Structure 1
Amino acid sequence: MRINRSIVFVVNNLGYGGAQKMIAFVAKSCTTLFDKVYLISLSPQETLIEVNKQISIRKLNYRTGRSVREKLNYKIEVIKKLREEIEHIEPVLVCAFGADALFISRLATIFKKIKLVGSERNAPESYSKIWKIINKINFSFCHGLVFQTNQAMRFYGKKILDKSTVIPNPYLDVNEYQKPFDGKREKLITTAAASFEYRKGIDVLIKAFAKINEKYPDYLLVIYGEGPLLNEYKKLIKTLNIEKYVVFPGTVKNVSKEVYNSSVFVLPSRNEGIPNVLIEVMGVGVPVLATNCPPGGPAYLTDNGRRGILVDVDDIEGMANGIAEIIQDENLSKKLSDRATEILDVLDPQKIAEKWKDYFYFIIKD
């Protein structure tokens, strides 16, 4: 099947993050379905992800002002510019990734005979009350919606549910580290976050590691990433007197390469969709422990605790016990490592790409 029209993807920016990786993947997949594929970044920020050469990239000048008036003026300005781009391209469908991009795309396509699909990337519970209302209104005007988990899809009620689908993220980290590590693992407990924010729960992991350090002082905690809470984490580490045992290497592009031979990878988040970093490390067979956080991404990836250990959100004691269980039991570590790689088949990129294309085709032909 082939659609002799264009599709436009809209995202806040093309920096290095999960939503950006996914929109690049979906856009690339659509080059075999649509005549032309456009990727519009609302921000002029530098492109840090790899984008297929067949995709035309356009960048707008979206800024966030300080005052309410500035914010409103910038929002109106970017809506006008996006509308101009859409009028010039004349796509059959616009797909927006993220709440803000969808809000802007909705207003930019108003009164246009264009199909609008939204892709929700965050946990619905993480939004403020006003944004939950905005999302529900936006979703009601969309022709289709793509969620990462069933729990997220059900959050907004039956009217939204009836025109929605669930498509998880694919396993994309294909490299020489794809084959699981087969040897004695290093005494490393690792984690990674695109940005150090409260919802990532790094503070909980640090506190859990302090308990691990009492029994296993030969293990290091390596935390990849950067962000606004870095100094707070360092203060916490100093307070817990574990400075010698915690390392912050910064942001890395290939997390699986860095954590390939670690004893356990921990995802301590308070909420997550389908976390790409967990997919990547499971794909190379690293034993994982994750929180059973909304809207159910880690539970889905670990098959409710079969492919990795699940603990409650903010459960410091449970996290410490789970980590200890993995590092002291080689049989459990090997079993979790073997099961983790099942994700390679479950989230095969070709299968996920077909789901996106089939859904777009359904929306257009409906």
Structure 2
Amino acid sequence: MNKKILFINACLTGGGSEKVMSTLANYFAQMGFDVTMILVRNKEHTYEINKRINIIQLTCRHNNKLLILCKRLYEIRKKVKSSNADTVISFMTDINLFTILSCLKLKKRILISERAHPLLINVNQKKPLYIRILRKILYPLADGMVFQTKFAKECYPGKIQKKGYLIPNPIPHDLPSIHKGPREKVIVAAGRLSEEKNFSMLISAFHEVSQIHKEYQLIIYGRGHMLDHLLSLRKNLDLEEKVKFPGYVDDLTERIKDASIYVSSSDFEGISNSMLEAMAMGIPSVCTDCPVGGAAMVIENDKNGILIPVGDVLALRDGMLKIIEDKKFAENLSEEAVKVREKYSVSSIGNMWLDII
């Protein structure tokens, strides 16, 4: 098998798109493909990569943004040409634009993918006008575009949708075994500490839960610029002994495998990797029914998880209380949730990618 696949992304540091890319790259390498990864930003690597994968780390010591852009375009083009890749796959808006521009006239099959809300940077900010203009001009030049959900696909004009494919995120094959027996009295969440994750709502809802069930703790894994705000909220609600922020950890699934509840409180989200992994380990989960529709695609409400309206503190509180107080309901959620292991397995999702490669 001699097909060559080249992935391009920002880095391998703790993000959802980076995790999906590394999971797919590892799978393709194990299948015998010749896999290369170009990383645009020089940051620490937090995801394990198969030794057979060739990693190309770009570096740029300029401070001038225009020079950085030009150098990145030149370097990507040069590396793509020298790799002799049959297919080039890029993730995230800015990297997609770099990739399309860099590969003009190279006669490569270009597949691009959006991994979050196509229209927004965060809940308060639309993508810049120049990004929207460039996307309108360049995206039609790609050979195909991968979307996580139908909602994300429908954010684009018909000529893009015609080239579109719906492929959800894969669940890693090396998750811990499904926990048996009593669960720890811990509620967990994970993600970048940024506005769209709305961990403020989760802390507020947990405050009410903790008034009734004082033995429970809330642990939020991740890092980001909202940490100081969340610490202040924790202090104001007198939850300093009950709400913990361990930061980013590379053994998240091991740490949360016996938790009582997983919560995704996002205002928008692609498909949360942490949510999928929590469900695959049988952790009863409460998730906002947020755009771009990833949670609703995976969760059947009150069957394998609980869906709540975006921003609804009371619904989140009630969802957590229902799981805590109705043990049979929680067990049923757990038994149904683990079925996502097979549906979204790496082999299943990887083969969907291979079909379009």
TM-score (norm 1): 0.91
Q: Kindly provide the CA deviation profile for residues 53-87 of structure 1, in whole angstroms up to 9, marking residues without a partner as x.
A: 2211101115795xxxx222211111011111122
CA distance in 2, matches of 1:73, 1:27: 30
Q: Kindly provide the CA deviation profile for residues 301-321 of structure 1, in whole angstroms up to 9, marking residues without a partner as x.
A: 213553100111111111111
8 Å Cα contact 1:255-1:280 kept in structure 2 = no
> How far 1:300 moved relative to its partner?
1.4
**Which amino acid is the alignment partner of residue 96 of structure 1?**
S
Q: Kindly provide the CA deviation profile for residues 106-158 of structure 1, in whole angstroms up to 9, marking residues without a partner as x.
A: 11111221121101111223242423443333321110011111111121022
Q: Kindly provide the CA deviation profile for residues 172-200 of structure 1, in whole angstroms up to 9, marking residues without a partner as x.
A: 0524x322x2222222111111x211111
1:170 aligns to 2:170 (yes or no):
yes
**How many positions carry a matched residue from both structures?**
351
1:97 aligns to 2:91 (yes or no):
yes
- Relative distance call for 1:44 and 1:279 in structure 2 (3 A) is same
8 Å Cα contact 2:271-2:294 kept in structure 1 = yes
8 Å Cα contact 1:173-1:280 kept in structure 2 = no
> How far 1:28 moved relative to its partner?
2.9
> How far 1:35 moved relative to its partner?
5.6
- Relative distance call for 1:272 and 1:46 in structure 2 (3 A) is same
**Which amino acid is the alignment partner of residue 136 of structure 1?**
K
1:31 aligns to 2:29 (yes or no):
yes
- State the partner residue of 1:87: 81
1:221 aligns to 2:215 (yes or no):
no
8 Å Cα contact 1:146-1:167 kept in structure 2 = yes
8 Å Cα contact 2:302-2:333 kept in structure 1 = no
- State the partner residue of 2:19: 21
CA distance in 2, matches of 1:187, 1:64: 50
8 Å Cα contact 1:33-1:357 kept in structure 2 = no
CA distance in 2, matches of 1:237, 1:125: 31
CA distance in 1, matches of 2:62, 2:249: 27
The secondary structure found in structure 1 opposite 2:241 is: helix
- State the partner residue of 2:135: 135
Percent of aligned positions that are identical? 31
**Which amino acid is the alignment partner of residue 20 of structure 2?**
M
- Relative distance call for 1:89 and 1:124 in structure 2 (3 A) is same
The secondary structure found in structure 2 opposite 1:124 is: coil
Q: Kindly provide the CA deviation profile for residues 91-119 of structure 1, in whole angstroms up to 9, marking residues without a partner as x.
A: 22211111111111111111221121101
8 Å Cα contact 2:27-2:346 kept in structure 1 = no
**Which amino acid is the alignment partner of residue 55 of structure 2?**
I
**Which amino acid is the alignment partner of residue 182 of structure 1?**
K
Point out where structure 2 has 5 or more consecutive residues left out of the alignment.
none
The secondary structure found in structure 2 opposite 1:204 is: helix
Which of 123, 127, 138 aligns to 2:117? It is 123
**Which amino acid is the alignment partner of residue 146 of structure 2?**
V
- State the partner residue of 1:203: 200
Point out where structure 1 has 5 or more consecutive residues left out of the alignment.
361-366
- Relative distance call for 1:158 and 1:33 in structure 2 (3 A) is farther
Q: Kindly provide the CA deviation profile for residues 246-293 of structure 1, in whole angstroms up to 9, marking residues without a partner as x.
A: 112222222222122222111111111111101111111000000001
Q: Point out 4+ residue stretches in structure 1 off by more than 6 angstroms.
A: none
Q: Return 28-37 or 343-352, whichever deviates more.
A: 28-37
CA distance in 1, matches of 2:85, 2:181: 52
Q: Kindly provide the CA deviation profile for residues 223-265 of structure 1, in whole angstroms up to 9, marking residues without a partner as x.
A: 1122211111010111122222211222222222212222211
- Relative distance call for 1:262 and 1:63 in structure 2 (3 A) is farther
CA RMSD of aligned residues (A): 1.9
Which of 186, 194, 217 aligns to 1:188? It is 186
CA distance in 2, matches of 1:100, 1:64: 19
CA distance in 1, matches of 2:303, 2:132: 33
The secondary structure found in structure 2 opposite 1:151 is: helix
CA distance in 2, matches of 1:60, 1:150: 34
CA distance in 2, matches of 1:261, 1:29: 27
TM-score (norm 2): 0.93
8 Å Cα contact 2:73-2:101 kept in structure 1 = yes
Matches within 5 A, 1:43-54: 43-54=41-52
8 Å Cα contact 1:205-1:268 kept in structure 2 = yes
- State the partner residue of 2:38: 40
Matches within 5 A, 1:311-350: 311-350=308-347
- State the partner residue of 1:110: 104
CA distance in 2, matches of 1:43, 1:273: 22
- Relative distance call for 1:326 and 1:354 in structure 2 (3 A) is same
8 Å Cα contact 1:148-1:169 kept in structure 2 = yes
8 Å Cα contact 2:171-2:346 kept in structure 1 = yes
CA distance in 2, matches of 1:62, 1:204: 39
- Relative distance call for 1:290 and 1:231 in structure 2 (3 A) is same
